[in-house]
Structure formats: structure tokens, C-alpha cells
Structure 1
Amino acid sequence: MASLHYFTWSFIVTAVGLALGAWLGWNATGTIGGAFSIFFICAVLAVLEISLSFDNAIVNANKLKEMTPVWQRRFLTWGILIAVFGMRVLFPLVIVAIAASIGPIAAMQLAINEPDEYSRIMLDAHLSIAAFGGTFLMMVALSFFFDEHKEIHWVRFIEERVTRYASMRGAEITFVLVLMMIFAHLVDPAEKLTFILSAVYGLITFLFVDILGKVLDKANEAMVGAAKGGLGAFLYLEVLDASFSFDGVIGAFALTQNLFVIAIGLGIGAMYVRSMTIMLVERGTLLEYRYLEHGAFYAILALSVIMYAQAVVHVPEVLTGLGGATVIGIALWSSIRYNRRRPFEIEESVPPRATAEAPVERH
């Protein structure tokens, strides 16, 4: 129960969001049934977003623990605004505007006045989104495993072998390119070029953000001494959150074409990601449960392959969310078993709460 205080703002946003959803339903239909229908859709979308975002919270926490308290606060305030309003509202509008060759205002009018046409355009863009997001997330996951300095292994017979090849330049990029070409041969021939170009853009985006992040953080280090994880890490996390959001945004259109209902439901879910991130950082959970981070990156790798597969067949979002949560659950169980066998080692590795780094401030 001590962990519930981390979710105070999430509970408040949930109550306000669901009430607003019910009001939208009542305003649109004038019936209790209509109000309850929109209320229910908002709740389902929130659960969908939360189930898809367990791994997002863990990866955010892993990056945040390297950042200075100032940049931690900036990510958890500005970053959440960008995540909720940028990815859940502006991103679908931008996609429709580009796909339909219209302006953002016209896209907003289309979302309000012709939701079915708006949804059709969004779904037509799914192939490009899946290829781009799948490639970016695959590089995120492989960068964790292709690390020659990685010492802790969960699935040893896989991870130890992968680590041996980590020093080979471009090993993970080669893996992604091979998988990209395999799936490119499986998609409709008319969409093959679109898939490849979108995937290549995803790869370039990852490499650009990774290089830019290192350059910015080096510059920041030079200015403020030992400070780490500044603007570069912030940008990396924002692009990462955007990639995680692709699946939820596209999946939401299976339930409703109303842009505002989607924003409410996914926005509620995004707040829980923020709360989970804060809890993981402040409580030192990633140090306490040594395989939890591994489980998150396996879930990300699986999600990236599923996004590629969605270019060929439909994969239910519920299955995607449950699959990721299951992998993380197994990693947590493995960590608990390890802790029971080596309790003294764990006590020494986890810093005392009172002497740990400055906690993340909550607003």
C-alpha cells in the first residue's frame, strides 16, 4: 500500500478523464447509455495503454536514473505534456494531414466532422507507422543486448552469445536490416517500397537521436562538470515514448474514431506510465530486481517484431499488451527467486533510501 501515493495524480486524472468521457457521450447522444458507452471506451483505452506501457516505464526509469534531478523534473513535467498532447492528439492529426495532403486545421475539421474518413486515412498509414516504430524499438532493444560491458544475464544461453558479438561494428544494425528485408518480402508487393523506406527512416532516426544525444550530453558535461543525462537523454526518451505510442494510437481506432475520446483514454494511460516511472526511480526497483530491466527489453524486442508482423497480418492489441506484461512478470518472478537465494548480496547492492541520489520531484 506504501506505493499507492505514487499514483495520486494518476487517480485524479483518471476520475476527471472518465467524467469528461461520460460528458462527451451525454453531449453527443443525450442518453445515459451513450454516456456510459463513451465512459467504457475511455476506460478500455486507458487499460490498453497501461498494458502496452509496462516496458516503457521500465526503460524510462533506466534512463532517468542517469539524469540529473533538474532533467528528471523536466522530463516528468514537460515530457508528459508532450507525450499526452503531442503523441495522443497532434500525432494522429499530423499523420492524416500528411497522408491526405491537407493542413492541420483541415485535419482537425475532418476528425470532428468526418470521423470515419479520418479513421480510414489513419489505418491506411498503419504500414508506414508499423515499419518506422518497429525498427526504432528493435534498435532500442538490441542496443541493450549488444553491449560488450553487459555483465548481468537473464537468459544466459542467448545473452552471453550475443555479448560476444557486441564488439563487432554494426552487428545489431545488420540484424535489423536482415529482418527488415525478410518482412519486406512478405508484405504486398505494391507496399514493399513503402515498408522498406519507413523502416530505413526508423533506423536513421534512432542513429540520429543516439548520436545527437551523445553530442549534447558531452557538451552539457563540459559545461557543468559531472552532470550527465541532459538534453540528449531527454530527446531520446521523447522519441522512445513516441515509438511506444504508435501501437496504442493505431489500436485505439479499432474502438472509436473520436479523436477526443482517444486522447482521454490514452492520456489516462500515459499518466500511469509517469507514476510507474517515478516509483521505479525513487524506490531503486531496477537495482532490487536484477532481471526486471531484461524483461522490459525482451518485451520491447517482441513488440518490435509484432509491429513488423502487423504489416502482414492483424495482431490484436490485447495480445500485444498481455504478451509484454507476461514477459515482465516472468522477469520479476526470476528476480524474486534470485533475491531469496542471495539476500545479503541484494542488501549490499541497493542504496539506502535516505542516502540515495536526490529523489525525483513530483508535481
Structure 2
Amino acid sequence: MILKTFGWSFGVTVAGLAAAYAFWGWQGFAIVAILSVLEISLSFDNAVVNAGILKKMNAFWQKIFLTIGILIAVFGMRLVFPVVIVAVSAKTGPMEAVRLAMNEPETYARMVTDAHPSIAAFGGMFLLMIFLNFIFQEREVTWLAWLERPLAKLGKIDSFAVGVALAALLLTASTIATSAYQYGGTHVDASSTVMLAGIAGLLTYLLVGGLSGYFENRLEEDEEREHVAEEAAQRAGRKTGTVGLAGKAAFFLFLYLEVLDASFSFDGVIGAFAITNHIFWMALGLGIGAMYVRSLTIYLVREGTLDEYRYLEHGAHYAIGALAVMLLISIRWHLPEVVTGLFGVGLIALAFWSSLRHNRFYGRGTPREDSPDQSSVSSGV
């Protein structure tokens, strides 16, 4: 199971590290290895949330996520995205941006860092909406009941999550963004840039999440009929299989996953510049890390880990909320990558420990007294 799920990740790791050593020696080998670990630590919560969405899809779309999706994640976000940032900010062509990355790494790093306020605002608002829609949603399984239940009551107010997100954006643009961090330690007023980028992130979430939810709801009746058919087949002694979402619903969930991965990768790409300005080292290291995040997502789905450890998704969503806040804060103050990475991993580890404790006292799959029935936790879509 491990080799089947992580085989490609192992292969890419060996090939990537071998290429780094062959072209750049032990220095390149070490930097690529460090960047791989950085990407995994920053994106572990991403894998947990991805698994909660991916388990709704059928085998075909899960395979698409591992093939086409990984191409988008590795080549699109980890290689092309930094180049696009430079091209847009410098108002130059992509080839010129590549030339800067290869021949003038300091200039390249400066342009990417100076574009950080807009990147952080877009990604921060997208991730914040995921967290808010999770925390304001009423659910039977609660981790921190003293906090989640009162907030779920507030979530019954129409568009309450959107209102909170807009208030957070307004506060960020009017305070933090007035002295945005730039390359070399200087600060500029980026209020308008942050406001526009934040609204774009919010609209992207509403559009992609809304479309995926719309088509998912349209298929609920079909799923009910399939469920009835499966029960009839089981009574008749025929073999049945789990049917996941397909068609338009699966496509928009896939699109949502890719936008979600893009939002998570912002932090990894920006954080990588604290380690190196070498574009190919960054692409190799972050690409290897992205492969493991993809494989870990599939492993969580196939092993049913999210069902067995009931609070993992809660911990991941709290980590998303923390990352969203840290992205907005980082518009003005530089936060060490070890802080953002370890904080998210720590929340997930705490949720995992809580799940183990629950299983020890109540048994796996057995709800607590304050949770009458165990239900799956939605992704916020």
C-alpha cells in the first residue's frame, strides 16, 4: 500500500536529488532537500483538507487529481507562478522574467518579495473563507464544542462568513497594509493593492466553491437512488462498490482543489526565497514536496484515516485559519517559515491526539455523548 501510494513520490525524490547533485553538487542537493521538507511541513494541513474533498470523488477523478493535478501543482504553481509574478510586477515578458531568474536572482527575488502583499491578501482571504465556512457551520461532531457551537449559531445568519471576511480585509487594508514589507526591509503603503487582491481572493472562493456546491447538490438525488440500489444489491447478495462524484460536480470540486492548493503554495513559494533565489532549486524542492502532499492525500482517502480519526479535519481547518491570519500579518511583518509550518503541524498533531483519546475511551467510530451521531465534516464548499 505504501509503495503503491508513495511510489511516484519516492521516484521523483531520487530523480530530483540526483539531478541537484549532478548539476550543482552537494550544495544544490542540500538546498533541494531542505525545500522539500519545508513544502511538506507547510502543506500537511492542505493534504488533510484535500482528502476530505477527494473522498467524495470517484476513482477516475482521484486519478485525474494525481496526474493532471500534480502537473498544475508542480509546474504551474512551483515553477511558472514565480515567473508570472515577476513578469506582471516588472511589466515584462515571461522570457525576460526567466532571464532575470537565471542571471539576476537578486532582482528576481526582490520583485517576488515586493509582490507579496497582493499574493498574501489573495491567498489569505481564500483560506480565511474556507475556515470561516467550516467554523460557522453547524455539525454534530465537534472538537472544541465550547467554541464551535456558539459560532455555528452565528453562522445561521445569512452571509455571516462573508461579512466577517470583508471586515478582516478592511481592517488589514486600513492598518497592516499601510506599511507593507518590501525587499530589503523597506515599507510602502499597499492598501489599495491589498484591498483589490483580497476581494479577488474572496470572489474566487465564492465562484469556485459555489459552482462545485451547486453541482454537488444537484447530484444528491442521484446518489440517494444509487444508495438505495446498493442496499438492494447487498440484500440480494451482489457485490457493490462505492460510487463517488463524477461529471460536472467532480470537475468543479477538482477545480476547487487546485485553487486551494494554489493558495497553500503561496506560503511555500514565498518562504522558499528565504532559503534560495535559485529558480531550479526552488522548482525541484517544492515540486518534490508537492508530490508527497498529493500522495499523502490519496493515502488518507484510501486508508479511511479521516473517518478513523474524527478530529483531523477540525485540526486542519484550524490550521488553515491560522495560516490565513499569518498571511495577512505577513503583509507588514516577516514571519519565519518555521513558525507557519510548525504551528499548523502542531494543531493537526493536537487534533490527532484528541482523536486517539476519543477512540481509547469510546471506541473507534463511536460518538461521544455530546455528539449523538458521527458525521463527515465538509470542506466548507
Question: Is this a same-fold pair by TM over 0.5?
Answer: yes
Give the structure 1 partner of residue 6 of structure 2: 7
The answer to whether residue 318 in structure 2 is matched with residue 298 in structure 1 is: yes
Please list every run of 5 or more consecutive structure 2 residues that lacks an aligned counterpart in the other structure. Answer: 180-188, 227-243, 368-372, 375-381
| Rounded Cα–Cα distance in structure 1 between residues aligned with 2:3 and 2:350 | 23
- Find out whether 1:121 has 2:117 as its counterpart: no
Which deviations, in whole Å up to 9, do the C-alpha atoms of 1:234-292 show, x marking residues without a partner? Answer: 10000000000000001111111111110000001001101111110001000000001
Distance in structure 2 (CA, Å) of the matches to 1:71 and 1:219 = 18
Separation in 2 of the partners of 1:244 and 1:102?
A: 26
CA gap 1:284/1:222 in 2 versus in 1, 3 angstroms:
closer
- List alignment gaps of at least 5 residues for structure 1: 26-34, 351-363
- The answer (yes or no) to whether the contact 1:291–1:331 under 8 Å persists in 2 is yes
Match of 1:41 among 28, 31, 38: 31
What's the C-alpha RMSD, in Å, of the aligned pairs? 2.1
Structure 2 residue aligned with 1:254:
274
Q: Is the 8 A contact 1:38 1:261 kept in 2?
A: yes
Aligned residue number for residue 17 of structure 1: 16
Are the equivalent residues in 2 in contact too, given 1:220–1:230 (CA < 8 A)?
Answer: no
Residues in 2 aligned to 1:214 and 1:327: alpha-carbon distance in whole angstroms: 27
- The residue matched to 1:14 in structure 2 has which SS? helix
Matches within 5 A, 1:163-182: 163-182=152-171
Alignment of 1:338 onto 2:358 = yes
Supply the AA of the counterpart residue of 1:47.
V
| 1:245 partnered with 2:265 | yes
Structure 2 residue aligned with 1:200: 199
The residue number in structure 1 matching 2:88 is: 98
What CA distance in whole angstroms lies between the structure 2 residues aligned with 1:5 and 1:214?
A: 31
Q: How far apart are the structure 1 equivalents of 2:191 and 2:141? A: 39
Q: Which has the higher mean CA deviation after the structures are superposed, 329-338 or 2-11? A: 2-11
Q: Would you say 1:319 and 2:308 are equivalent positions? A: no
Residues 308 and 364 of structure 2 are in contact (CA less than 8 Å); yes or no, is this contact kept in structure 1? no
Alignment partner, residue 277 of structure 1: 297
Map of 2:132 onto structure 1: 142
Contact map agreement 2:307 2:365 (CA 8 A) in 1 = no
2: distance between equivalents of 1:166 and 1:219? Answer: 23
Q: Does 1:287 align with 2:307?
A: yes
Q: Which amino acid aligns with 2:278?
A: N
Query: Deviation per CA, 1:186-231, whole angstroms, max 9, x where unpaired?
Result: 3326211111111111111111111232345567789998662411
Amino acid at match of 1:248: G
Native 8 Å contact 2:74 2:290 kept in 1: yes
The structural deviation recorded for 1:345 is 4.1
Aligned 8 A contact 1:288 1:346 in 2: no
Q: Cα deviation per residue 1:299-323 (whole Å; 9 max; x = unaligned)? A: 0000000000101211001111011
Identity score, percent: 49
Q: Equivalents in 1 of 2:22, 2:196: separation in Å?
A: 42
**1:29: which partner in 2?**
none
Q: What letter is aligned with 2:177?
A: V
Measured at CA, do residues 218 and 162 of structure 1 come closer, stay the same or move farther in structure 2, by a change above 3 Å?
Answer: closer
User: Per the alignment, do residues 345 and 258 of structure 1 end up closer, same or farther by CA in structure 2, a change over 3 Å counting?
Assistant: closer
Please tell me whether the aligned partners of residues 187 and 311 of structure 1 are also in contact (alpha carbons under 8 angstroms): yes
- Stretch deviating more after TM superposition (189-198 or 85-94): 189-198
* Counterparts of 2:155 and 2:214, CA distance in 1: 22
Distance in 1, Cα, partners of 2:153 & 2:262: 31
Q: Separation in 2 of the partners of 1:110 and 1:287? A: 48
Code of the residue aligned with 2:127 in structure 1: it is: L
Of 89-98 and 299-308, the range deviating more from structure 2: 89-98
CA distance in 2, matches of 1:15, 1:337: 38
